[in-house]
Amino acid sequence: MSIFNNKKLEKELKKEFKVLNKLAKKIVEKRILKKIKSVEDLDEKLEVLKYSIKSALDIIVHNLEKKMKESKKDVFFAETKLSMLKMKTKLFNVTHNKQDFNTVFVLIKEVEKEVKNV
């Protein structure tokens, strides 16, 4: 019975890795993705991929904050969207859901647009 559970678990991990890998291609650098591919253990590979996505999102949020601080104009709407982006990023880091990632990605684009307009 444990062999069946291990195969089932491995299949679910592969499926989760495949989904997260597609999402990671949008924001994680290619050189990092190549290093992740070289990892043999599937559990470790999945955790490294999750961490890489989290780090990339944190860097994007930090850069957006930095751009807004440099701006001397009114950035109220951009700050509001940025605070929502931070919350959605934290939610994605917990759930690792594709829908949550898409929400985060859309918010990133909106905040970048707001920062450019300011």
pTM summary value: 0.88
Q: Is the pLDDT of residue 69 over 90?
A: no
Half-sphere exposure of 67 (CA within 13 A, CB side): 17
- Predicted confidence (pLDDT) per residue in 78-103, tens digit: 889 999 999 999 999 999 999 999 99
For residue 24, name the pLDDT band (cuts at 50, 70, 90): very high
* CB contact at 8 A, 52 and 24: yes
- Supply the pLDDT for residue 1: 45
CA separation for the pair 76, 69 (Å, rounded): 12
Determine what percent of the chain is predicted with pLDDT higher than 70. 96
